Structure 1
């Protein structure tokens, strides 16, 4: 299976509709309400232009002694009250639409997180192992994209919608009042639009390069902190620091390049705004002098054009945030759609779910190689037969392929060639859920969650939320955990730490055995299940496991012959092939 990488599409390939990749019908009322309120919130600014023009007309009439001082005060008071009402309406609508867009953004990221988490859980184990930068860096990249999506679909989107409506309404008002003055005032807009489009195209490459460098720096941090003991042992702090700083410096260069383009965009917008003053007042004064427009109409037109230009200026920073958001949204959607089920092409989940699992396993000419080492076969044309209801051993040195066999039987991977049959059914035709319900794999490095001892054992049950301590007591006794639990400060409620780090290797193995006992599946595969236990506990635990697994299919992978009894059948692996097979006394001979 080829390694999957999170793709960062260019801005020109990511349409604005990609911002709504995670929008559902349930989000529509929030979005529509926010858009409507943003439209209403955009109206006070054009209305202010109208009132300002009327007030200016009154002052013009007063200057020409056409109205009295009393008339001026009475009229301007009326207009000031209207301005206050407009301000109150604007305050209420701005607050309401802002809240709705924040809610809309949170709905988007909640949906994105849910879909991504569900998609990650469906991926095969091999997919996680083939991430070039590691799973942590990949998840960090996903989180960064989710943050970008949240910012783009909440505040930035809401402000852009409001400013856009304000610009359109202001332009309509300006052209309605005086189309010729509006054209002269906005004469520089086409040139400005071309410049801004050119600068925007230059920003995309810088944005993508910055993402790549940030991913590299995250990989350095992840590897250094994960292996901090080795870094300190070899005095590698300075080396790791230099690598991190070099990567961050490259990311900073990309960011500064993008910031320069953004600054140029804003600078050209400001230049256009000042140019509007010169053009507008020059041509407006000539129109007023010739009597084609009143002073109030000139001011109304100019103010509306200025409001439209400022709105476009305010849109630019929000557009930059939304540009990041649309790229992030498309990248997240690609992460889901490329391999939504986590399987390579052709490895479809089977649909067969037998009513009963007898536990008969047959392996025919099985070969397998990991994606990281495609030329090296971990298993080479190997055949096995594990009869139902019996305990069978697989013995081999490190690197012989015995652990790989266990992972293939649990369908964590699919064979390169050959086939695996469970009760006569090819494993690829069986439902993955059915396999998980009937096959348990205990690996040498037992996986524990950052939960209590009780919960780590209870997770072996699909209905773990209803379990109580007496329900798992038998599992604790089998794994000989009673003394360990009594010595813990909070007993079974003691947290085991991330990955079970608060427990010793032997304690982790015994918790995993207790969890497997609770599951009690027809097929159990144990990979070095007692390797970290002392001699006494190892013998007693194996006795308990044999008693528990009597009459059930059990495969024990180990490198020790001491655990094998005379009646046990065993396979001996070397370099991915079976070199000996038989009962213990036959192997000794």
Structure 2
């Protein structure tokens, strides 16, 4: 088949799946390597992190009420969590006050005890005692007060746990609903993009964006949405408590914050391009694996196992390299932040101890402050640790957004015209088309197919035969001229109305996973009922019924898209039967008998003759024996019709058709020597 003769699905309906990308001469291909396995794809440039992050946040807009609830729960959880260290500090003060008080004479007040220590020259002990609240000389630990304080601690942490649990539950619902909507949006987008976009991409690359990238976005959003909110609130709450306890210690603790921010920003700046390349490499590797698996038999037939393995090793190595760099660079954020946090802890502990000794702070307040310093650096460390995950998720999100932003096929006219009933007169009027602007394919083509006529299209590889079908179906739009159906420009019709009147049987057969009966009824339009008699008549006419009856489950036999339970010829027969059941006004047969044996071809030819009766038919064929009885035979070369007429007329003209015919039926050029 030609580079321009782009294969479509063999489905007998107009909803054909996209063709594989073209090779040389037909537009963008899959790159070098056996079977075009997607090598040599360019590395993506660094993405717009901030813009993509804002857009990802905008995806959550339908869930804004739940996001507000998440923030309220986060405030409650953080407030109770922040309150915990202060309550624990109070419990420490109760214990320390009891310990100190038990060593003082019972007949003195606290002030008298402090004054006595100063009179004896024990100023440091006096300062320490003055900083311990609740000391009662001669009285030990107040266990009732201690129990009440610890009870409040347990209540605070239990409340924080419940708020956090609700927050996690709601977050899961928010993220999963958002990702479901995003998948729906991507699915709808795939139906709106033109075939040219799909042709320029590898199937595995598109699949990677729809599956792996969206899953990565979901994982990232789940793990960062609530945590980022909680981290921000924790920083604010803890910072407030730190300044309340000791502004001096709070300022000391904040010294490391600018260092943390600068360090995180610099590391993130260097790791972001690596995350972009990581997911680009993932898409290329998936594309290679998908193609290698689909063409596994072909790889073995041509002995390309080593070449395929080398291509896999190259893509796998590229993924390893980009993943290693991305994870290693971003992974340095957490240990760096941990080092700064530990440094901050040492400074706070030393300065706090000095202030306890001087009586400026109580031991419980210093204990609480140390916990707050840990709580303050912990969310910063968490955010730093989430940066690699966040960068990875945003990189995947941009790949999904790139698909969503892909150019769409031109919309159907607001007031589309509908041809009803369809007679089947098709006219190509001065049609011009090219897959790429610098390589014109069809120029000034004129063709008229009258209702009920069979138009055969023949020509060498690359002549543009299947391109006519692509233009008729509006898989591609003409660059100039127009195509009319019963006098109506096809661009003035909706694509659904146009394609619902056309049935297709292509050489590249296509089945989906399901029963044989489901595959056959796939071509039946919605709302149309095909009875059992009509169904069996179609399967008998296409010689499907005999071989299906030999299968253990008959028409309930399950096949997959590879058709592994039926032969290639039987798959071809199934697609013919699907066209029978579709009952279209216009029929397109593109090498529809290419996969059947000679005897079956004769039977199928008879069936197709019955199918073509009273229908406008376009038959694309390389085997000229199958189109002798066509009303008009078109001979195409380089996108132009160079000859047209009946079989006998074209043979008599002794032109391009005669040469094609002679090349198929002529005797061998060199006769074998006679046996001696």
TM-score of the aligned structures, taking structure 2 as reference length: 0.79
The one-character-per-residue Cα deviations of 1:202-253 (angstroms, maximum 9, x if unpaired) are 1112222323333343344334333333433454434433443343334333
Cα deviations by residue, 1:169-202 (Å, 9 ceiling, x for unpaired)? 1111111222222111222211222122111111
Partners of 1:153 and 1:471 in 2: CA distance = 53
Task: Please tell me whether the aligned partners of residues 452 and 492 of structure 1 are also in contact (alpha carbons under 8 angstroms).
Answer: yes
1:335 counterpart residue number: 403
Partner of 2:145: 75
Given that 1:460 and 1:518 are in contact with CA atoms closer than 8 Å, whether structure 2 keeps it comes out as: yes
1:408 equivalent in structure 2: 471
Aligned residue in 2 for 1:96: 166
Cα 1:104–1:262, aligned 2, differ >3 Å: closer, same or farther? same
Q: Superposition pairs for residues 104-503 of structure 1, below 5 Å? A: 104-131=174-201, 134-339=202-407, 341=408, 343=409, 347-351=410-414, 352-356=416-420, 357-371=422-436, 376-463=439-526, 469-470=532-533, 472-503=535-566
Distance change (3 Å), C-alpha of 1:378 and 1:486: farther
The whole-number CA distance in structure 1 between the counterparts of 2:275 and 2:453 is: 60
Find the aligned partners of 1:532 and 1:243 in 2 and give their Cα distance: 31
Match of 1:20 in 2: 57
The separation in 2 between residues aligned to 1:550 and 1:260, in whole angstroms, is 68
- Alignment correspondent of 1:33: 69
- Measured in 1, the distance between the counterparts of 2:289 and 2:225 equals 33
Query: Equivalents in 1 of 2:301, 2:627: separation in Å?
Result: 40
Stretch moving more, 134-143 or 102-111: 134-143
Q: Does the CA-based 8 Å contact 1:379-1:577 persist in structure 2?
A: yes
- Whole-angstrom distance in 1 between the partners of 2:525 and 2:42: 33
5+ residue gaps, structure 1, are: none
Measure how far apart 1:7 and its partner are: 6.5
Q: Which moved more, 1:544-553 or 1:176-185?
A: 544-553
- The CA distance in 2 between the partners of 1:318 and 1:387, in whole Å, is 66
Provide the C-alpha distance between the structure 2 equivalents of 1:230 and 1:533, rounded to a whole number of angstroms: 19
How far is the alpha carbon of 1:471 from its aligned partner?
Answer: 5.3
Separation (CA, whole Å) in 2 of partners of 1:148 and 1:8? 20
**CA positional deviation for 1:273:** 2.0
Equivalent of 1:43 in 68, 75, 79: 79
Structure 2: 5+ residue stretches without partners: 1-26, 30-40, 102-134, 653-676
Counterpart in 2 of 1:559? 622
Kept in 1: contact 2:275–2:391 (CA 8 A): no
CA contact (8 A) 2:46 2:273 kept: no
Provide the C-alpha distance between the structure 2 equivalents of 1:106 and 1:567, rounded to a whole number of angstroms.
56
Aligned residue for 1:579, secondary structure, equals strand
Task: Tell me the secondary structure at the aligned position of residue 596 of structure 2.
Answer: coil
Q: Distance in 1 between matches of 2:43 and 2:557?
A: 38
Look up the SS of the partner of 1:56 in the other structure: helix
Aligned pair partner of 1:54 in 90, 93, 100: 90
Distance across 1 between alignment mates of 2:94 and 2:55 = 50
Which SS does the other structure have where 1:499 is aligned? coil
Q: Deviation of residue 11 (structure 1)?
A: 5.0
Residue-by-residue CA offset, 1:31-61 (whole Å, 9 max, x unaligned):
3333322332223321111112211211231
Contact map agreement 2:345 2:373 (CA 8 A) in 1: no
List per-residue Cα deviations over 1:257-292 (Å, max 9, x = no partner). 333333432223222222223322332234334443
Q: How far apart are the structure 1 equivalents of 2:429 and 2:388? A: 58
Question: For the residues of structure 2 that align with 1:469 and 1:335, how far apart are their CA atoms?
Answer: 43
- Cα distance, 1:213–1:539 mapped onto 2, change above 3 Å: closer
Does the 8 Å contact 2:540/2:546 carry over to 1? no
On the 8 A contact 2:433/2:440 being kept in 1, the answer is yes
The CA deviation string for residues 522-556 of structure 1, in whole angstroms up to 9 with x for no partner, is 21111122333344443343334333443322222
1:2–1:426 Cα change, 3 Å: farther
Native 8 Å contact 1:14 1:327 kept in 2: no
> Deviation of residue 477 (structure 1)?
2.3
**Cα distance in 1 between the residues matched to 2:647 and 2:300:** 47
* TM superposition score normalised by structure 1: 0.90
* TM superposition shift of 1:391: 2.5
